[in-house]
Structure 1
Amino acid sequence: MANSLVSIQIIPKTKNGEEVIPYVDEAIKVIDESGVRYEVHSLETTMEGDFTKLMAIVKKMNDRMVEMGSKNVISQVKILYQPDGISMDQLTEKYR
């Protein structure tokens, strides 16, 4: 069972003021390719899984932004670490 939820909003500084959406799409692609469960929301994406693995994904997302030409990247991250297990569904089931 997953022990963490990590929500991330990634804000890359783009080359020459380019549109940021293609960069965000690429960051979400990094998450998708990782195989973890995730949900995309309007202002952030939430991942569910092992804390160490999720933090490695955050690093990979930032690295990918730099590979694409970003001079720097701001990552706003929220973490829920619960060693005995947690899921997105547990937190949102009463709203569905």
Structure 2
Amino acid sequence: MTDKNIQLAIQVVPLEREGNIYEKIDAAIEVIQNSGVEYMITPMETVMQGPYDKLQAVAKEAQQALVDAGCKEFLVNIKMHIRTEADVTMEEKKLDR
């Protein structure tokens, strides 16, 4: 697709009512934290920055972490910001307040 850094935001939503769903979400976040990519955790999603193929692989591993944590049904929302001729950076999106 591109050899430039992109941003990928992922939100996982367990659809189960049994057990602690936050432990399952945390399992997915742990995969991202251990992946070596730059990331930012927000209340609604986790945003990662890096090469397209790497981020797709991390997103897949995060989903598998939900399954491994016993989650039987979940939603995954993914958003990507891709630029073909330049990197997408978190720094350019920060607001000075």
TM over 0.5: yes
Match of residue 66 from structure 2:
65
Offset at residue 2 of structure 1 (A): 5.0
Q: Deviation at 1:73?
A: 2.3
* Equivalent-residue separation in structure 2 for 1:2 and 1:33 (angstroms): 21
RMSD: 1.7
Q: What is the TM-score with the length of structure 2 in the denominator?
A: 0.86
Which AA in structure 1 matches 2:9?
A: S
Query: Identity, % of aligned pairs?
Result: 29
The residue number in structure 1 matching 2:93 is: 91
Unaligned segments of structure 1, at least 5 residues:
none
How many pairs were matched up? 94
CA shift, 1:19, in A, is 1.8
Q: Letter of the aligned partner of 2:87 in structure 1?
A: G
Distance in structure 2 (CA, Å) of the matches to 1:30 and 1:2? 22
- For 2:93 and 2:80, locate their aligned partners in 1 and report how far apart those are by CA, in whole Å: 13
Runs of 4 or more consecutive aligned structure 1 residues displaced over 3 Å after TM superposition: none
